[in-house]
Structure formats: C-alpha cells, structure tokens
Amino acid sequence: MGLIGANLLRIKQQLPPQVDLVAVSKFHPVEAIREAYDVGQRIFGESRQQEIEMKHLQLPSDIEWHFIGHLQTNKVKSILPYVHTIESVDSLKLLREIEVQARTLSVRVNCLLEIHIAAEPQKYGFTMDECREFLSSDEWKDFRQVTIVGVMGMATYTEDENQVRKEFRLLNTYFHELKTAFFPDNKSFKHISMGMSGDYPIAIEEGSTLVRIGTSIFGERE
C-alpha cells in the first residue's frame, strides 16, 4: 500500500462511526484518487468544475462526488449529472438555480447550506439571518430535486484552538436551531460538515458528521 492509502486508513481509524470522511482530492491527479479508492474510500471532494468534470470521467461511477468550492450558477448544469452533494451552497440564487437545472435534467442532488462562521471576512456563505428568513418562507418545501441535508462551515485559519472550537460550536448550535425550527421530522437534515486537515479533531469533538480532509491524505497541493 502507498502513502495515500496508509494516510487514509490512519485517519479513518480516528473517526467515530457517525462521522463520514470526504477525501478532498482537488489539485491531485486521478492516480492519487485511485489509490484512496483502492483502500475503500468512496466520497471525494472537489472545488473546481473543470477538474471534477475531467476526473469523474476517468474514475469508477460508484464514487460519491461532493462539490465543496464556490460554484457559479452557469456551472451548475454541467456538474449535476454526476455530483451527489453540493456542500457549498452559499446563496439563494445558486440554490434556486440548482433546483431549476435538476428538474430539467431529472436528477436529485443533496445540498448543504454554507454558513459563515469565521471571524475573518469570508467571501462566501449565508448569514444565519439569511438562512432563517429563507427557511421561514415556503419556497424550499416545493423543491423536488434538491434535498437540504445540513450545514457546512469553515473556521478561521488560526493557531488559536479556542477560537476554532468556538466557531465549530457555533455552527453546531446553528444546525440544531434550524433543525428544531424547520426540519423537526425531516431525517434528511442531518449533516454538520466541518473540519479540515488542521482542525478536524476539534470539529469532531464539536459534533461534526462530515469532515473534509485533503492535505493529511494526499499531501500538499501544488
């Protein structure tokens, strides 16, 4: 077994059973993905449309592709036929476009609402007020193709573990607020996607159900 396979298995051993691993393969070649696939990994995360498009064609069809980067509305149509989950839904415009295009293509897709939790000014993501307002409207209840399966967030890039923990805890609180208010009997709304190579142990302690790990599996990106 190569280094990638060994890294992956070591990380998987550390994950509690309720936490799924998204292996973030962006910027790494298909051979690297195959190495992870060969030790059993099936969920992969990519952040650029062109790259995921090229890679999915060269890899087995039982891979569950998660899109985790900022997605422009004009790229939605091309990734929908094969993408399983869009974790980085950061605007209503984008969410609406995903539902419209998914109807046209007759495909289903899972979506996570990306919520802004970091202290640093982030370019993308909903505020909680925007989430509350949108989910209070009935619009999303008519979605047929899109299933809203949870929330996603990124902590501040800092050495300060307390700050990172506080932000993950906040996302967990947000998740439970939304769950109680808008998804009380909805089993699909269940994911808190948080934690990357540098902070996933903290994220797990704070309730993550989905960690997105790249560097610790595949090494540094070029």
Positions in the binding site for ligand PLP (CB under 6 A): 24, 26, 47, 68-69, 154, 196-198, 212-215
Q: How far apart are CA 6 and CA 175, in angstroms?
A: 33
Q: Give me the residue whose beta carbon is nearest to ligand PLP.
A: 214
Nearer to ligand PLP, 21 or 95 (CB): 21
CB of 51 to ligand PLP, least distance (A): 12
Nearer to ligand PLP, 63 or 196 (CB): 196
Nearer to ligand PLP, 157 or 188 (CB): 157
Task: From 29, 12, 28, select the one nearest 200 (Cα to Cα).
Answer: 12
C-beta pairs of 13-16 under 8 Å, 24+ apart in sequence: 14/201, 15/204, 15/211, 16/204
CB of 187 to ligand PLP, least distance (A): 25
CB of 71 to ligand PLP, least distance (A): 11
Q: What is the secondary structure of 178-214 as a DSSP string?
A: HHHHH-TT-TT--EEE---TTTHHHHHHTT-SEEEE-
Whether the CB-CB separation of 63 and 85 falls below 8 Å is answered with no
* 3-class secondary structure, 60: coil
Nearer to ligand PLP, 111 or 213 (CB): 213
CB of 15 to ligand PLP, least distance (A): 14
